Amino acid sequence: MAAAPTTGVSMGEALNRALRDAIADDPDVLVYGEDVGPLGGVFRVTDGLAGEFGEERVFDSPLAESGIVGTAIGMAMYGLRPVVELQFDAFAYPAFEQVVSHLAKMRNRTRGAVALPVVLRVPYGGGIGGVEHHSDSSEAYYTHTPGLRVVTPGTPADAYSMLREAVECDDPVVFLEPKRRYWSRQEVDLPVRTEPMATPVVRRPGTDATLIAYGPMVETALEAAETAAAEGRSLEVVDVRQLAPLDDGVVTASVRRTGRAVVVHEASVFGGYGAELAARIGERCFHYLEAPVLRVGGLDVPYPPPKLEHHHLPDAHRVLAAVDRLQWESEWVDDGDGGRTLP
């Protein structure tokens, strides 16, 4: 497996540049949240912005998530474009009523007369040794709420481009930032515009099976595909990018080509976003499937303590173990040692 890049732009740096450029280009854009001002955010994504643009454009908020989202709704109703940070995934739950009952519904409630161009930046997922309340994968709560766009980047280039597009969008956008990838690097010149955020992309072409991932698991899926290639197997990797509303054209086209699919995400498998993807694939690719669609995700437990999270989070080994099981159940038996194919 190739070593991770140590040069280039990190995802955190790309997000910082996107915010800087958005503030500079549009006087209606402002950034606020917990510790995003002089401190620059707990992950330094807003580092330097308060000093460069002043406290009228970048400022700290009280530790009151419902108030952060509520004020953002009011600002947007009066023509501003607030970008707010909810410091950790689980910290966003106190704001859930504002998100579900007002942010998501205002445009429909007013028959399109009042748009709410608000971006909720939510660092999410595990992999950094955080405890519970700091490592949730909460995407399914938001994707189940019509009226929200829910996006998550898997590369630094996408982090820049998708955040710029989110700020420019007239719909509320939940921008989920995979915190374990803040330090992932990519050789890219900023500013950059990648594919529109609503469009899934093929990160690696392949012919034997399709790995469908998003956010933090894109890099994991690519690692699995690279390992598989060394063993003579060809895996295609699709990055979903915008989880809701979902444009599944690229996903279904890929699965129709390969005939096999594994959905990978950090969140618990039961009731997770992968269930929606598996259902879509089943509905639209049934006659093309060579095996049932499988899912790889976190365990169905509350997020574990830091020393145990490596058991919880999917890795390339677990992804490849699922690929090995991509055959009809009648052709595979569980022998207690990873399973085997019937002769």
Q: One-letter amino acid identity for 340?
A: R
Please tell me the pTM assigned to this model: 0.94
Looking at the fold, whether 87 and 218 belong to one and the same domain comes out as no
Predicted local distance difference test score (pLDDT) of residue 329: 56
Looking at the fold, whether 222 and 176 belong to one and the same domain comes out as no
Residue 343 has pLDDT above 60, yes or no: no
Predicted local distance difference test score (pLDDT) of residue 241: 98
Predicted local distance difference test score (pLDDT) of residue 340: 62
Whether 340 maps to a domain, the answer reads: no
Q: Identify which has the larger pLDDT, 229 or 88.
A: 229
Residue 221 has pLDDT above 90, yes or no: yes
**How long, in residues, is the chain?**
343
Whether 46 maps to a domain, the answer reads: yes
Looking at the fold, whether 163 and 23 belong to one and the same domain comes out as yes
CATH code: domain of residue 111: 3.40.50.970
* Helix/strand/coil for 185: strand
Q: What is the mean pLDDT of residues 322-335?
A: 73
Predicted local distance difference test score (pLDDT) of residue 342: 60
Write the pLDDT tens digit of every residue in 292-311.
Answer: 999 999 999 999 999 999 99
Residue 335 has pLDDT above 80, yes or no: no
Predicted local distance difference test score (pLDDT) of residue 132: 80
CA distance 282 to 113: 38
Write the pLDDT tens digit of every residue in 249-280.
Answer: 999 999 999 999 999 999 999 999 999 999 99
CATH code: domain of residue 222: 3.40.50.920
Q: How confident is residue 131, by pLDDT bands cut at 50, 70 and 90?
A: confident
CA distance 343 to 331: 8
Mean pLDDT of the chain: 94
Q: One-letter amino acid identity for 12?
A: G
Write the pLDDT tens digit of every residue in 197-213.
Answer: 999 999 999 999 999 99
Q: How confident is residue 330, by pLDDT bands cut at 50, 70 and 90?
A: low
User: How many Cβ atoms from other residues are within 10 Å of residue 48's Cβ?
Assistant: 13
Looking at the fold, whether 127 and 234 belong to one and the same domain comes out as no
State the Cα torsion 209-238-297-9 to the nearest 10°: 130
Structural domain count, the chain: 2
Looking at the fold, whether 160 and 309 belong to one and the same domain comes out as no
Whether 196 maps to a domain, the answer reads: no
Residue 5 has pLDDT above 90, yes or no: no
Looking at the fold, whether 23 and 156 belong to one and the same domain comes out as yes
Please report, in angstroms and rounded to a whole number, the separation of the first and last CA atoms in the chain: 32
Domain boundary among 151, 186, 221: 186
Looking at the fold, whether 21 and 90 belong to one and the same domain comes out as yes
Whether 337 maps to a domain, the answer reads: no
Looking at the fold, whether 117 and 207 belong to one and the same domain comes out as no
Whether 318 maps to a domain, the answer reads: yes
Predicted local distance difference test score (pLDDT) of residue 333: 63
Predicted local distance difference test score (pLDDT) of residue 7: 77
Q: What is the mean pLDDT of residues 240-251?
A: 98
Looking at the fold, whether 65 and 153 belong to one and the same domain comes out as yes
Predicted local distance difference test score (pLDDT) of residue 59: 97
Predicted local distance difference test score (pLDDT) of residue 308: 93
Whether 121 maps to a domain, the answer reads: yes
Predicted local distance difference test score (pLDDT) of residue 1: 57
Q: What is the mean pLDDT of residues 305-320?
A: 94
Percent of the chain with pLDDT over 90: 88
Q: Which of 45-54, 127-136, 190-199 has the lowest mean pLDDT?
A: 127-136
Q: What is the mean pLDDT of residues 229-235?
A: 96
Looking at the fold, whether 104 and 249 belong to one and the same domain comes out as no
Helices (H), the chain: 11-25, 49-53, 65-77, 96-98, 106-109, 139-143, 156-168, 217-230, 249-258, 273-285, 309-312, 316-324
Whether 239 maps to a domain, the answer reads: yes
Active-site amino acid positions? 134
Q: What is the mean pLDDT of residues 103-111?
A: 95
Write the pLDDT tens digit of every residue in 41-82.
Answer: 999 999 999 999 999 999 999 999 999 999 999 999 999 999
Predicted local distance difference test score (pLDDT) of residue 281: 98
Looking at the fold, whether 178 and 72 belong to one and the same domain comes out as yes
Q: How confident is residue 90, by pLDDT bands cut at 50, 70 and 90?
A: confident
Predicted local distance difference test score (pLDDT) of residue 285: 97
Domain boundary among 186, 210, 236: 186
Looking at the fold, whether 311 and 288 belong to one and the same domain comes out as yes
Whether 229 maps to a domain, the answer reads: yes
- The domain in which residue 155 lies consists of 11-186
Residues 230, 262 contacting (CB under 8 angstroms): no
